[in-house]
Amino acid sequence: MAIVGKKFPNLAVDAMNEMGDTFKLNVFEEAKNKGKKVLLFWYPKDFTFVCPTELHAFQAALGEFEKRNTIVIGASCDTPEVHFAWLNTSKDNGGIEGVTYDILADSNRNLSGTLDILDIEVEYNDELEDNVLVGDNVTYRATYLIDEEGTVFHEGVNHMPVGRNVNEFLRMIDAYTHVQKNGEVCPANWEEGKEAMGANRNATAEYLSKN
């Protein structure tokens, strides 16, 4: 279910912070009430292999997101207690000690189910004479960029073995911010400081002739 151009679901979800506090966090309200962009990234499971590399990569770039008025939020279907244990496990042991942004604990799958990002299938079981769930019922590596009005301007879903490129999300935020401020559109491979163009056929032809 694509939600680009639509408001992010207005749902409060359990979350955990670095101090071990559990609280309700509403991503839509975080954007609207604070007047900030939000990067929300989902990962499959705590205490796995690719996942900690991503959480540390987002932490390393946290200052760059903050410069861009962007809040970073992680998310999985693990419980707050499991998040807290992972936050207290050292990097050398595959933990995420040192991560400071909030992490959603969507253990009831309310938000991930609404977003339709769960690895789940249903098969008929002859012995039970009923449908049974197949798959881990955890999320793919889904990423959402949400603007200051709570509108999604990017969404992407990676298969579980494939980690994300954090710098690409910084580039996308730069591009969207340029569009917001200048009303121009950003061509392929655009980066901050490069020439953008007007949203018309002549501007496209002119840009292509120079590049």
Q: How many whole angstroms separate alpha carbon 13 and alpha carbon 172?
A: 26
3-state secondary structure 33-101: HHCCEEEEEECCCCCCCHHHHHHHHHHHCHHHHHHCCEEEEEEECCCHHHHHHHHCCCHHHCCCCCCCC
- Bridge partners of 14? 24
CB 42 within 8 A of CB 143: yes
Our answer to whether residue 51 is catalytic in this structure is yes
Exposed / middle / buried, residue 94 (Cβ in 10 Å: 0-12, 13-18, 19+):
middle
Catalytic residue (one of 13, 31, 51, 71) = 51
- Write out the catalytic residue numbers: 51
